[in-house]
Amino acid sequence: MQSYAAGIFPMAEHRDDPEIFWVDPQRRGVMPITGFHASRSLRRAMRNTALEISINQDFEGVLEGCADRADTWINAEIHSLYAALHAAGHAHSLEVWDGSVLVGGVYGVTLGAAFFGESMFSRRTNASKIALACLVDRLRSGGFQLFDTQFLTAHLASLGGVEVSRADYHRALRAACAMQASFTDPPLRSPQEVVQRMAQRS
């Protein structure tokens, strides 16, 4: 956890590389807790979806789903590291289900009022967007101040993600780590409840 407090995170070149290295990007991706952008089509999809949400119900499944791609930085050591962090209560997952089938999810690490998003996966249309919408709602309800996405992708930018300098990120990180938040205390909300809360805030 000291590495996260220092603003660095582990990666591997690929799944078969036994080595890990630590990253502190010059430009850091963050998702503003109050700045998530849900398009009209996403809101409609959330209102009409049959997908269901859970937290910490299948952390291992989310971890495996995130690693199940041709190009992944999740090697055996990183897999073991995050499984251990989850067992210790420092890493959490949010799952997306189609009935009993896990079709999407995201996992990350918490420290103070900072959430460090590590990876996500999707096996259904809009599953990753719904996961992020529900995650941001949970972080907001739990008192989190910083949602670190590591890098800014086009996907994250379309949902409101921004890029900040290393110095600005470290300032925000120090402030968030000095505060308290809870990932597990907020009530579990369905996509329909989350989109309703969005409407109430707009």
Q: What's the pLDDT tens digit per position in 53-109?
A: 999 999 999 999 998 887 787 888 888 899 999 999 999 999 999 999 999 999 999
120 Cβ contact partners less than 8 Å away, ≥ 6 residues apart: 66, 104, 105, 106, 107, 128, 131, 132
pLDDT tens digits for range 147-199: 999 999 999 999 999 999 999 999 999 999 999 999 999 999 999 999 999 98
Domains of the chain: 26-201 (3.40.630.70)
Mean pLDDT over 13-39 rounds to 88
- What integer pLDDT is reported at residue 195 of this predicted model? 96
- What integer pLDDT is reported at residue 75 of this predicted model? 83
Distance of CA 157 to the CA centre of its chain: 14
Which amino acid appears at position 134 of this protein?
Answer: C
Q: What is d(CA 173, CA 167) in angstroms, rounded to the nearest whole number?
A: 10
Mean pLDDT over 114-133 rounds to 95
Q: What is d(CA 170, CA 46) in angstroms, rounded to the nearest whole number?
A: 34
Which amino acid appears at position 185 of this protein?
Answer: D
- What integer pLDDT is reported at residue 112 of this predicted model? 98
- What integer pLDDT is reported at residue 1 of this predicted model? 75
pLDDT exceeds cutoff 90 at 142: yes
Which amino acid appears at position 133 of this protein?
Answer: A
H or E element at residue 96: strand 91-98
- What integer pLDDT is reported at residue 86 of this predicted model? 97
- What integer pLDDT is reported at residue 106 of this predicted model? 97
- What integer pLDDT is reported at residue 46 of this predicted model? 97
- What integer pLDDT is reported at residue 53 of this predicted model? 98
Mean pLDDT over 116-135 rounds to 95
Closest residue by Cα to residue 120 from 145, 149, 147: 149
Mean pLDDT over 124-133 rounds to 95
- What integer pLDDT is reported at residue 124 of this predicted model? 95
pLDDT exceeds cutoff 90 at 19: no
Beta strands 101-111 and 114-122 are antiparallel
Sign of the CA dihedral with 32 first, then 33, 34, and 37 last: positive
